[in-house]
Amino acid sequence: MAQYQYHGSKRPKNTKKTLLHLLRYLGHHKWLFLLVGLLVCVSTGANLLGTYLLKPVINRFILPGDLKGLLAAVAGMGIMYLCGALASLAYSQLMIKSAQTVIQEIRRDLFVHVQRLPLRYFDAHTHGELMSRFTNDVDTVQEAMNNSFAMIIQTFLTLTGTVIMMMVLSLRLSMIVVVFLALMFAFIRFNGSRSRKYFQRQQAQLGRINGFVEEMMAGQKVEKVFNHEKKDFENFCVLNENLRRESTSALAYTGMQVPTVVSLSYFNYAVSACAGGLFALSGLMDLGGLASYLVYVRQSAMPLNQFTQQVNLLMTALAGAERIFDLMEAEPEVDEGDVTLCHVKEEDGKLVETAERTGHFAWRVPEAPGTPEVPEAPGTPEVPEAPGTPEVAEMLGTPAAAGSGTRLVPLKGDVRFDQVVFGYVPEKQVLNGISLYAKPGQKIAFVGSTGAGKTTIINLINRFYEIQSGTITYDGIDIRRIRKDDLRHSLAMVIQETHLFTGTIADNIRYGKLDATDEEVREAARIANADSFIRRLPDGYDTMLYSDGSNLSQGQRQLLAIARAAVARPPVLILDEATSSIDTRTERLIEKGMDAVMEGRTVFVIAHRLSTVRNSKAIMVLEHGEIIERGDHESLLEQKGRYYQLYTGQFELE
């Protein structure tokens, strides 16, 4: 099939590999597919044979007037036809069933894989791009599986069958057909490559207009405020007309293929008829033979057309499949952690693991044989400014036995960065050797310009990204040793951009803790000060939210996001500009509620507004990936440094 790959307007780069991968999916249902193939053969065979049998039936029974024989022959053909039709019925139903199952599997595997991709991948690819893997590419594969698979077998058989029949009838005459078929084939190839060129131009125009429309729809309200509608409409019309022109050419060329091939087949027909007529005159062929030969000639164009069309479709589908498989092969997040999170309770002064939800957590650290009793504790931390470093041993807690080979380390929320270097792209470092220390149970704040690295620090604690050098420890354990899911379970995060899911308000809050009771949900909403506005919504907590909660204001969405974190009651909480759209008065109320929830637990706060961070125990001022000042509010003011400038409004955060 490889030689046809040039026809696809979008063709795969590595046909063989993609095909193999696709075949692996089909392999789960290989018996079904074999059966389908067999049934297709039966159905096509019946069709071909039927046409072939017409002549003998007419010659042997109808002409001599053998009614009884005719009845028997018709009955025989009837059985054959019935088999053929039943086979078609069976294969088309089977094919759809197996195709849909395969598609479902592909879609699921794709989704599962996407869940495992690191954030780095999402940074580098737009949502639209990933979305199109799920929609356009899966659709083309589905389309091809529904139809092309059977059609290709069928048309190929018909084509070969017809050519063989013609050769049987007259080898010499069939040479003409072969020549014409070759000609048609050449034309299809030529036209294919030409229309591909136009299709690429059409795609480019389509991309341009889509980009324009997306931008304008997003900025619609601004457009109205500025009376800019007319101007934009003019621009749109230009793009629209360009697209129309390009796509007209593209489609005109593709549309030409079928009629051209059909016309060529008329030529073929005419030439064959004349030649056949002359042959018959010179006695090289009998009249009946000529008649049935010409029937086959007439039939030969259709399967060629269909065959090439289906092969084109298949190639497009393979290209789609290739993009899908490429995504499936993208490197997933690495997770070699063996340290897990568990609930603990204290029994006789010792920590014991328990299935209960005690609200106390510990790390279950497997002890590799030969590992020293106190593992990679951050030694003598090279963080001179960090207050209270000496309590390392105390902080690690009394190592408690939790079964053979494991050790329980109480979760305290002690986070340390030691000489951490990180950049989203290797060439550009965002953090240049940052060392910091978060004392457990404290509220730690980061202040700094956009791009100073505040959010980056948070992303690293969560292990959304991998650091380039240095270490990050969490309760004395290198975070790379902690299983990612457990690490993230221990931290609740409220991020700058709030995202809500389609579902009720209660569902959205419950996202933080799936088994939260209604009362817990309400309590969390009250802490986040969201209860009053939720109760005023038409259906209260059962109000449906659509498309990322677009029916709520930015501030309301942030309140919900905070409620989501509050219901989770995490050991460590991270607030990344979580209250930026909330007025200061409400913010103060939330702060009080959250402080109560997070009593004795570690909280990280990132904010632009200094009033948000003012009450924090330690405030770190970041600039260009480095901590330039640290201390509490008063001491920072006394330093009269950058914090002071910010505070007195002499400096703008960017």
Partner 1 sequence: MLIRLFSYMGKYKKYAALAMLCITVEGILELLVPLIMADLVDVGVANGDTAYIYTKGVQMAACAVIALGLGIGSARFAALAGQGLGAELRRAEYEKLQHYSFSNIDHFRTSSLVTRLTSDVTNIQNAVSMGMRPFCRGPVMLVAATGIAYSINHTLAVVFFIALPVLGAALCVITMKVRPLYSKMQGAVDTVNRIIQENLTAIRVVKACVRGDYEIAKFEEGNRNLRCQSETAFRLAALNMPAMQFVMYGTILGILFYGGKLMQVGNMQVGDLTGFLSYVLQILNSLMMISNVFLLMTRSVASGARIMEVIDEKIDITDEKARDIEVERGEISFEHVWFKYKKEAKEYVLSDISLRIEAGQTVGIIGQTGAAKSTLVQLIPRLYEAGQGIVKVDGIPVQEYPMERLRDAVAMVLQKNTLFSGSLLSNLKWGREDASLEEVETACRIACVDEFLERLPEGYDTEMGQGGVNVSGGQKQRICIARAILKKPKVLILDDSTSAVDTATERKIRERMEEYLPFMTKIIIAQRISSVRSADQIVILDDGKISDVGTHEELLGRSEIYRQIYESQKEGVEL
Instruction: Tell which positions 260-279 bind partner 1, by CB under 8 A.
Output: 260, 262-264, 266-267, 269-271, 273-274, 277-278
Instruction: Tell which positions 563-592 bind partner 1, by CB under 8 A.
Output: 564, 568, 580-588
Instruction: Tell which positions 33-52 bind partner 1, by CB under 8 A.
Output: 43, 50
**Count of beta carbons in the 10 Å neighbourhood of residue 12:** 21
- Pure H helices in 569-641: 584-597, 610-613, 633-639
- Mark the segment that binds partner 1 (CB under 8 A) among 1-9, 81-89, 354-362, 409-417: 81-89
Q: Assess contact for 12 and 5: CB atoms under 8 A.
A: yes
Cβ proximity to partner 1, 324 vs 646, nearer residue: 646
Out of 26, 35, 38, 103, the residue judged to bind partner 1 by CB under 8 A: 103
Q: Supply the minimum distance, in Å, between the C-beta of residue 631 and partner 1.
A: 17
Q: Supply the minimum distance, in Å, between the C-beta of residue 49 and partner 1.
A: 12
Note whether 61 binds partner 1 by CB under 8 A. yes
Instruction: Tell which positions 402-461 bind partner 1, by CB under 8 A.
Output: 449-450
Note whether 88 binds partner 1 by CB under 8 A. yes
Cβ proximity to partner 1, 31 vs 585, nearer residue: 585
Angle at 409 between CA 406 and CA 413, to 5 degrees: 145
Q: What share of the chain is helix, strand, coil (3-state, %, to 5)?
A: 60, 15, 25
Note whether 491 binds partner 1 by CB under 8 A. yes
CA–CA distance, 52 with 60 (Å, rounded to integer): 13
Out of 554, 595, 635, 640, the residue judged to bind partner 1 by CB under 8 A: 554
Note whether 609 binds partner 1 by CB under 8 A. yes
Token pair of 521 as six digits: 């949900």
Note whether 17 binds partner 1 by CB under 8 A. no
Note whether 357 binds partner 1 by CB under 8 A. no
Note whether 380 binds partner 1 by CB under 8 A. no
Out of 1, 13, 30, 122, the residue judged to bind partner 1 by CB under 8 A: 122
Angle at 468 between CA 450 and CA 396, to 5 degrees: 95
Q: Which element (helix H / strand E) includes 202?
A: helix 171-218
Site string for partner 1, 134-173 (x = CB under 8 A): xx------x---x---------------------------
β-pairing verdict for 602-606 and 340-347: unpaired
Which of 478, 471, 461, 483 has its CA nearest to residue 336?
Answer: 483
CA–CA distance, 548 with 552 (Å, rounded to integer): 9
Q: Assess contact for 653 and 608: CB atoms under 8 A.
A: yes
Token pair of 80 as six digits: 């054959």
Instruction: Tell which positions 204-243 bind partner 1, by CB under 8 A.
Output: 206, 209-211, 213-215, 217-222, 224-233, 236-237, 240-241, 243
Note whether 485 binds partner 1 by CB under 8 A. yes
Q: Supply the minimum distance, in Å, between the C-beta of residue 157 and partner 1.
A: 15
Residue written as tokens 């449906």?
Answer: 544
- Mark the segment that binds partner 1 (CB under 8 A) among 11-19, 24-32, 311-319, 489-497: 489-497
Out of 45, 470, 555, 641, the residue judged to bind partner 1 by CB under 8 A: 555
Note whether 200 binds partner 1 by CB under 8 A. no
Note whether 479 binds partner 1 by CB under 8 A. no
Q: Assess contact for 415 and 472: CB atoms under 8 A.
A: yes
Note whether 182 binds partner 1 by CB under 8 A. no
Under 8 Å CB-to-CB from 19, ≥6 apart: which residues? Answer: 318
Q: Assess contact for 320 and 136: CB atoms under 8 A.
A: yes
Rounded alpha-carbon distances, angstroms, from residue 645 to 607, 608, 619, 628, 630: 16, 14, 15, 13, 14
